[in-house]
A and B are shown apart, each in its own frame.
Chain A
Amino acid sequence: MGAIGKTSRQLALRDPDTALMIAVRDGQPGAFEKLVQRYQHRLVGVLQHLLGSAEEAEDLTQEVFLRVYRTRRSYRARAKFSTWLFTIANHLAANARRNRRRRPQVSLPVNDSGPLGPRPAEQLVRDQATPPPMRVQRRELADQVRRAVESLGERQRAAVLLHKFEGMKYAEIAQIMDLTPKAVKSLLNRARVNLRQALQEYIFMDSGPLPPDA
């Protein structure tokens, strides 16, 4: 490993992905491939819900990795690697949304055959393993949850996705979204109240929450 600063060294000790990114910077073979494999799914997962398009999410994920690779030589660890990566992703997603607003597109309703729907093979496996009534209930619930998340404002949605699915603390989300932790707290508070209202019918089911999909 090449010479690194004190902050970078401390972060690398605490965060294995920061150490991996430093290895990428120093030209260690295979390090970048590992980062791509570790984060590809996570980036696509968040970006697809932010942008509503599987294709755009995959393109943007590629763009994020290309930027990381092209700027690798000047990398200095100042935050956890995931925070840095999602900051880039959030900027690119904001740009993509801005471009989209300049060129309005006709969007088709999302359904099971759409980009946010399950892929056919996955759906088949799920359906075979689940009794029909529960299958319908689960699909309906998944659809309602997706609608509820889509109904949130862009910033609320981003904060929810980063907190719920990336398990990020308010301070990390604040860094990614260029906000104060207090603003993130308020954003998530409003988002949670909106979600509770949108999902009112589903949160007190007699049998409790359904098991999540495998």
Chain B
Amino acid sequence: MDPTTLTDQDRANFVAYLDGELSPEAARALESKLQADPRARTEVDALRRAWQVLDHLPRPVPSAASASRTLQRLSVGIPILRPPGRRPRLGLALAAALMFALTLGYMLGRLAPHPPPAPTSPPVANDEILRRDRRVIENFSLYEKAADGRFLTGLADPADHDLFGDDSAES
């Protein structure tokens, strides 16, 4: 085979040659073959120009407030956003679990045999649940917006370092 003839391997190296990713020896060998082959030179030139034309690709610019929003989220310790579409599902799951618990409590309260009223008798189950979860029920619209359960339970624990650690002090 003529040593100046381009092989398939040489053609596969055109882009790496243009990108400066070939070894110096391989680049020199390819250059000498290109010298002898005007069609191959045109091919390499077309690849080079196509790459230059990419300079016209619109460069997206983030909104002006984007960086400050990121830093603000860190300073207030808001939990990480879930990928779009998952948050509503989590919120719904939380709401459904809460509703289920309330309904179950109510039903149990209705179905349970009622002992004759006595001053020392314990309160019925649904009243117990309502009393225990009164704050949850009152603030249900706020809880609904929370991204996850860990964040909610963490709020009740001042020792939770993920939420109340030193993040804000350092940012």
A and B: bona fide binding partners: yes
Q: Is B151 an interface residue (CB 8 A)?
A: no
Distance of B52 from chain A, by nearest CB (Å): 5
Q: Is A203 an interface residue (CB 8 A)?
A: yes
Contact A209 B19 (CB under 8 A): no
The interface bits of chain B over 24-51 (1 if a CB of A lies within 8 angstroms of the residue's CB, else 0) are 0000000000000000000000110111
In the complex formed, the residue of A with least CB distance to B46 is A196
Q: Which of B16, B58, B84 is the one whose CB lies under 8 Å from A185?
A: B16
State A56–B81 Cα separation when bound (angstroms): 11
Contact A66 B60 (CB under 8 A): no
Q: Which residues of A have CB within 8 Å of B59?
A: 45, 165
Q: Is B156 an interface residue (CB 8 A)?
A: no
State A29–B66 Cα separation when bound (angstroms): 20
Total cross-chain contacts (CB, 8 A): 137
Q: Is A4 an interface residue (CB 8 A)?
A: no
Q: Which residues of B have CB within 8 Å of A203?
A: 46, 49-50, 52-53
Q: Is B15 an interface residue (CB 8 A)?
A: yes
Grouping DSSP codes into helix (H, G, I), strand (E, B) and loop, the B interface class, with mixed when no group exceeds half, is helix
The interface bits of chain B over 76-96 (1 if a CB of A lies within 8 angstroms of the residue's CB, else 0) are 000011011110000000000
Q: Which residues of B have CB within 8 Å of A13?
A: none
Contact B170 A27 (CB under 8 A): yes
Q: Is A88 an interface residue (CB 8 A)?
A: no
Contact B12 A33 (CB under 8 A): no
Grouping DSSP codes into helix (H, G, I), strand (E, B) and loop, the A interface class, with mixed when no group exceeds half, is helix
Distance of A165 from chain B, by nearest CB (Å): 8
Q: Which residues of A have CB within 8 Å of B1?
A: none
Which residues of A185-201 are within 8 A (CB) of B?
185-186, 188-189, 192-193, 195-196, 199
Q: Which of A44, A58, A170 is the one whose CB lies under 8 Å from B19?
A: A170
State A192–B46 Cα separation when bound (angstroms): 10
Residues of B within 8 A of A (CB): 12, 14-16, 19, 21, 46-47, 49-63, 66-67, 69-71, 73-74, 80-81, 83-86, 167, 170-171
CB<8 Å pairs between A and B, sample of 27: A32-B171, A36-B70, A54-B60, A56-B84, A62-B69, A66-B70, A66-B80, A99-B84, A103-B85, A116-B60, A122-B61, A141-B53, A145-B53, A145-B56, A149-B57, A164-B51, A170-B19, A188-B16, A189-B16, A192-B47, A192-B50, A195-B53, A196-B47, A203-B50, A203-B52, A204-B49, A212-B55
